[in-house]
Amino acid sequence: MELRTITLAILATLTFGCGGGSSSSSQTNPPTPPVTEPDDPSDPSVPVETVAPFSLAQYKTILEGSTLQVSDPNGAAGNKDTIYSDEFDGYKTDHFYAEKTSEELVFSMSGYSMRSEVRELTNFDVNQTGIKRTLNASVKLPNIDVAMANSDASKDEVTFLQIHNKGTESDGTGGIPHPLLRVVWEQERNSQFGHYWAVLKINALNCDQSSSSACDGGNSYERIDLGKADINNFTDFALSVFENTLTISVNDQVIHTRDIEYWEHLLSYFKAGVYNQFDNGTANVHFKELRYSETPFDGTNRWDIDSWKITIPPSRDDWYGSGGSNAAELEPARCQSSSKDVLSNNSNIIDETVNLSYFNVENGRMHFRTDMSYGVSTANSSYIRSELRELYRSSDNPDCSTGDTDTSWYIDDERTDATQHKLSANIKIEQYPNISNQLPKVVVGQIHGFEIKQALVKLLWEGNGRPVRAVLNDDFERDNQSCDHCESFSVDLGTYSAGEAWRYTIHADETALTVTTSDDNGENPITRTLRWGDKIRDNNGDYVTFSQDWAASDVAYYFKAGIYPQFTPKESYRGEIFDVSFGEVTVEHY
């Protein structure tokens, strides 16, 4: 996955205006930054030290692939200059800067139809097969309601995310002055005050020139309510385009999907910043995350098999004829292992002992299987597994050794500048054991610590009619030590039956661990956010302190996905099978 990272972002373009074309002029030499720094909006008396956004690693990559379109607030409405990627080094103004302490990127602008926007330079076809394009942004608009207080009531919104069009050709031929999508904050609409809205163009007509009835009134646009805005705290947005489908998500919940085949003849691109649709005030838009990603899919395979190794039930002695009593592993071809079999999308890991394939790909889904009569455990465990272990790439020349932290990640990973870590999966329980007095407990996703016995989180399915549980440990000991004071606790998530596809995400950052399950289409999400150091109420009604040490700078982690049954195999269980399929396993570090 290619990632371009930003800490703060907003997209903006008027429904009825331009906002996406090339700049009419260029500013070759950036103006000298002002001496007076912007004030902290929460306390105007306290100056905030600022830096050039390009000086921060998390913004450098996306700025190298973008331009900045910025207005002179004292000029004519709609004016703009362009700052090119080779001009960003040392560039900051009142309209574009990063706060040194918080590292939030800020776009600031006053005046109607004025902007300060980053334009991602990739022009793409919305119908391209095999590539999912996503703009992720974590946004807040501090005091935007106050900024609009003196604006005319008919001018009461600001745009902060959008997908615009370049035209039918890369030189702008055939373009229309309307974006496909804007995400806005609006003061009032339909008696809803202070909501986020998605403004979606539902045809590809140039309504500045067309007399079609499809351009009359609201016939060309649909507004989707994205919910009440918490303008002084960050909200996560994701705009994704994949094979003529647009998906809009807020805080990991899919709010809207739309077939956009009508737009496929137009080249599209993302923008971020601020574009005002109000008068007599200044909008400041903050982002703690903004990134553009392109995720390739190999046919129907929505995972990167080269990022994982697999552990299977047989011992190394039984599978390879030597190597010891620990569970056998297979690694991807890039690991160039001479002692292990290769794991690939074409693997069919059949064990004739139990006449079972532990792993194969069928109809675009990875299947993980165990027979509960057979297998050996791994270190720090009493159970068998058919499970992927992440091989994190912490350098340009990654290896596959899991004996050190090169294949694990830190929450604040200085090697890669990643501070956000997310595992997303589409899953279906195809088959499970039917054993008297034994629940079919199986872990289907984890975050585990390097050389730590206590798992941070395990996602546990326990049978039809029972909620999926996130099982956690309140604390841990380093160096694979036992922990006498540690307590396991759990929180409930959604309930999903065998044969039903569903989704989960596990997300860790510097502030919290967040676990979400939802229906296959992203609807009906249930999210549990557990902040480091907080007291958490568990399923028993007890309060447990979730140790701050989990976020320590010296603790490394890795994701796991597949199946890890939570009861001991017995010969009497022969023929009792777990078969769990995954249609997607996506890992993001940014």
Token readout for 453 is: 């016995």
The C-alpha atoms of residue 52 and residue 333 are separated, in whole angstroms, by: 42
Q: What is the pLDDT of residue 43?
A: 54
What is the DSSP secondary-structure string of 272-296?
EEEEEEESSSEEEEEEEEEEEEEEE
Mean pLDDT for 16-35 is: 35
Q: Provide the 8-state DSSP code for 60.
A: H
Mean pLDDT for 155-181 is: 95
Q: Given a cut of 60, is residue 302 above it in pLDDT?
A: yes
Q: Is 3.40.980.10 the CATH classification of the domain at 2-296? A: no
The C-alpha atoms of residue 196 and residue 355 are separated, in whole angstroms, by: 55
Other beta carbons within 10 Å of 4:
22
Q: Which residues pair with 580 in a beta bridge?
A: 368, 429
Q: Given a cut of 80, is residue 373 above it in pLDDT?
A: yes
Q: Check: CB of residue 577 under 8 Å from CB of residue 372.
A: yes
The C-alpha atoms of residue 389 and residue 312 are separated, in whole angstroms, by: 11
- 76-135 pLDDT, tens digit per residue, is 999 999 999 999 999 999 999 999 999 999 999 999 999 999 999 999 999 998 888 999
Rg (CA), the chain: 26
Token readout for 44 is: 């105007």
Q: What is the pLDDT of residue 299?
A: 58
* pLDDT interval class at 63 (50, 70, 90): confident
Task: Return the amino acid letter for 369.
Answer: R
Give me the architecture of the 302-589 domain, per CATH: Sandwich (2.60)
Q: What is the pLDDT of residue 45?
A: 54
Topology alike, domains 2-296 and 302-589 = yes
Token readout for 257 is: 């999907």
Q: What is the pLDDT of residue 462?
A: 98
Q: What is the pLDDT of residue 60?
A: 80
Q: Where does 300-363 have alpha helices with state H?
A: 316-320
Q: What is the pLDDT of residue 7?
A: 34
SS3 call for 41: coil
Q: What is the pLDDT of residue 213?
A: 87
Residue with tokens 């020349």: 397
Q: Which residues pair with 258 in a beta bridge?
A: 246
Contacts of 44 (CB under 8 A, 6+ apart): none
Q: Rounded to two decimals, what is the model's pTM?
A: 0.71
Q: What is the pLDDT of residue 354?
A: 92
Domains of the chain, by residue range, sit at 2-296, 302-589
Closest CA to 418 of 496, 529, 546, 509: 509
Q: Given a cut of 50, is residue 219 above it in pLDDT?
A: yes
Task: Return the amino acid letter for 39.
Answer: D
The C-alpha atoms of residue 51 and residue 93 are separated, in whole angstroms, by: 9
Q: Check: CB of residue 66 under 8 Å from CB of residue 113.
A: no
Q: What is the pLDDT of residue 381?
A: 75
Q: Check: CB of residue 540 under 8 Å from CB of residue 469.
A: no
Classify residue 167 as exposed, middle or buried by CB count within 10 Å of its CB (0-12, 13-18, 19+): middle
- 425-444 pLDDT, tens digit per residue, is 999 999 999 999 999 999 99
Q: Check: CB of residue 394 under 8 Å from CB of residue 407.
A: yes
Classify residue 172 as exposed, middle or buried by CB count within 10 Å of its CB (0-12, 13-18, 19+): middle
Q: Given a cut of 80, is residue 15 above it in pLDDT?
A: no
Q: Given a cut of 70, is residue 32 above it in pLDDT?
A: no
Q: What is the pLDDT of residue 30?
A: 36
- 224-233 pLDDT, tens digit per residue, is 999 999 999 9
Token readout for 368 is: 């993980």
Q: Given a cut of 70, is residue 469 above it in pLDDT?
A: yes
